[in-house]
Structure 1
Amino acid sequence: MKYGWLDEYCISKKGAEKDLKVEWNATRYLIGGKMFVMQGGDKNKKAIITLKCEPMFGQLLREKYEHIIPGYYMNKEHWNSVYLDGDVPDDILKQMIDMSYELVLNSLSKKKVREIMEGNMLE
């Protein structure tokens, strides 16, 4: 795979968890029980990763890179999908992952964020 660092990078985020959504045949990376990255395939089984972005930033990326499209089966304003066989530079994809993580983390309650940041997550 072109982005061999992807799994390790996503799971290295503080409090990140990984699961497999069998019915979607997709790997999800979650923070506080909410997804910030999904890795799977499109209807043609082409590998994609889907991430949350600020709407204006996502739009700019879609205009610049042909392999970044509106979120596949997701809210097209807030989510973007990146084809993993495309030409998106590693640093841009890492920036997208970082943004997605921060957006989802900041959508959690202050208590939950504090638990995650302090590493005291009670299951």
Structure 2
Amino acid sequence: MRYQWIDEYLKSMNGVSSDFKEEWNWTRYLLGDKMFAAVCKNDQGIDSLITLKLEPVEGQFLRQQYEDIIPGYYMNKVHWNSIKADGNVPDDLLKDLLEKSYRLVLAGLTKKKQKELLGE
């Protein structure tokens, strides 16, 4: 995978936990019990996709700009997008998209849960 930094980067965000969903072959990154990103492995155990949540308009725009951004693999295709792990999406853009996904999911949690996860 081109984005070797992704696991450390996601785990450095406040309140993030991760697990490996064996039946899906995915490492999921969670805020509370809500997933905001996943690294999906192929049948050979190699990272193949990074899936994250975006506002629908932004996701659609980015899919038109980058051939390596596709509708969310096994996810709601309006809200979720997958990025090919061996693709050409710039690191800075991917970091920005992961942060946006994090903020979107965080905003959907109760204020109490947000404070708990952020350590406030």
Question: Would the TM-score normalized by the shorter structure come out above 0.5?
Answer: yes
Distance (whole Å) between structure 1 residues aligned to residue 52 and residue 42 of structure 2: 14
- The TM-score with structure 2 as length reference comes to 0.93
| Structure 1 match to 2:5 | 5
Give runs of ≥4 in structure 1 deviating > 2 Å: 41-46
- 5+ long unaligned stretches in structure 2: none
Deviation per residue, 1:22-76 (Å, 9 max, x gap): 1101100000111010111368977001000011111111000000000001000
Identity score, percent: 54
Contact 2:10 2:29 in 1 (8 A): yes
- The equivalent of 1:15 in structure 2 is 15
Change (3 A) 1:60 1:42: farther
- Cα 1:12/1:29, change in 2 over 3 Å: same
Instruction: Assess, with a 3 A threshold, how the Cα gap between structure 1 residues 84 and 36 changes in structure 2: closer, same or farther.
Output: same
**One-letter amino acid of the structure 1 residue matched with residue 35 of structure 2:** M
2: CA distance, partners of 1:98 / 1:11:
12
Unaligned runs of 5+ in 1: none
- Partners of 1:36 and 1:78 lie apart in 2 by 11
Equivalent-residue separation in structure 2 for 1:101 and 1:107 (angstroms): 10
CA RMSD, Structure 1 to Structure 2 (Å): 1.6
The whole-number CA distance in structure 2 between the counterparts of 1:20 and 1:42 is 14
